[in-house]
Structure 1
């Protein structure tokens, strides 16, 4: 399995729309009890920086560094930090497998929806642990599954494509289910590992408009579309049909969509 697996979705605006929606409150609440005003944080795979900047605002006497391998999102994140007036944060390009920091640099090393997109998540966790201070923590959150009602065949097909294309590209869809295994293989003692879970729930019109509308666009416009078609996993007409199904689901009476997520706090003792 390749370590440098390809990110299946790319950075089309339809993808970044979901990344820019994320905050500490809706995506990293499990981490909040571990923060103090002076906490130093490395946010790996920071994307456009929304969670990173939110974290920085919660550690006013600390410092936060956001890291991503895509130059385009680092530029967006840097601009957002300036606009937000948050001064204790900076952004750089970098590689999670070779973090350019000395051992024991940070109190917290955090990654949100990152391990599922890697070919070797255990190696990444080992490197994240290396740059974490003794007594500090590695904190990660990743999707585990999709649930929806009323059941719609095209959305089941979409889930199969999501899992299938990620697996074909050498990554780990549903990685949040595997956190205890990953942490053990990365060298953490099980007594130092806490695994929890939380959901993104879209069951009101605002939430359905956001989630279903976003995916209606992504299945046609992002690299997810291009990968599915170029690898022969779906035809163009299939992607068009799935997009229409997302739009229909957006206005389906009593619709309910949930993304379940696993959360890991691993202490570096």
Structure 2
């Protein structure tokens, strides 16, 4: 088993606004690069599962297998279990687990998956080593991380949001938007270059419903979440600046021409 875990560098919490954002994620819109490689009897580990929306989708795709979701704190797991029960998905379980020190034996899973987790990790190479350790020979590690963002129309308020969140992540020891270099970390973690498949995926929020979801949840985060509290208590921002950021998201949500794009880097690493 692994050595003791590293401290978390996560810059927000699991408040309602954050879980609203995470719950939108599905296997189709967040793990499409992995889906063609799944078999019905696979045993899968979903690291950093949050509210479990991706985890439960993966369980549906391996009906003769099992999916374990792990999160480093208990907060979102009760909701994840309730979501699975409400959807009648029984081949899934949720437990506490730290990516730096996974509570599983070597060679335990066919697939180990993480979505937007490495950017919040103090030591992503060690995390990938742990993911590799618990993957069976012949299995794979799958990771997807944000690489860049763009939006229209240009907004000083959203520029302030991007600068603020980036500075906070760096100050905590995180690695904001590392999608373009996660394959380099994978090599350092022990995967051969020939066994790493690189790809890219994207999100786009432009329809009325998409802007309402994305802009609404991001505005709520700026007004009330662990990230907002950390910004104020850490001296990264003032309440006035956070209010302006929230206004920027409200303006995005209300503008029918507004568009937000997010590019992800993806890796499939064969062991």
Tell whether the structures are fold-level matches, with TM greater than 0.5.
yes
Aligned partners of 2:157 and 2:248 also within 8 Å = yes
Q: Which residue of 2 aligns with 1:105?
A: 108
- The offset of 1:114, in angstroms, is 0.6
Contact 1:5–1:170 (CA<8 Å) still a contact in 2? no
Displacement over 6 Å in runs of 4+: none
SS of the residue 1:143 aligns to: strand
RMSD value over aligned CA atoms? Answer: 1.1
8 Å contact 1:146–1:159 — kept in the other structure?
no
What's the counterpart of residue 122 of structure 2? 119
Q: Which has the higher helix share?
A: 1
Q: Which residue of 1 aligns with 2:30?
A: 27
| Partner secondary structure for residue 99 of structure 1 | coil
Offset of residue 5 of structure 1: 3.0
- C-alpha distance in 2, partners of 1:101/1:11? 25
1:62 aligns to what?
65
Q: How many residues align?
A: 267
1:31-42 mapped onto 2 (5 Å cutoff): 31-42=34-45
- TM (normalized to structure 1)? 0.97
The Cα of 1:234 is off from its aligned counterpart by 1.1
Q: CA deviation at 1:70?
A: 1.4
Match of 1:188 in 2: 191
1:240 counterpart residue number: 243
Moved more, 50-59 or 249-258: 249-258
Which residue is equivalent to 1:256? Answer: 259
- Helix, strand or coil: the match of 1:173? coil
* Structure 1, gaps ≥5 residues long: none
- Name the structure 2 match of 1:226: 229
**1:10-45 Cα shifts (integer Å, max 9, x gaps):** 011000001111100111111101101111100011
TM-score by length of 2: 0.96
Q: Is the aligned partner of 1:177 residue 2:180?
A: yes
Q: Which residue of 2 aligns with 1:214?
A: 217
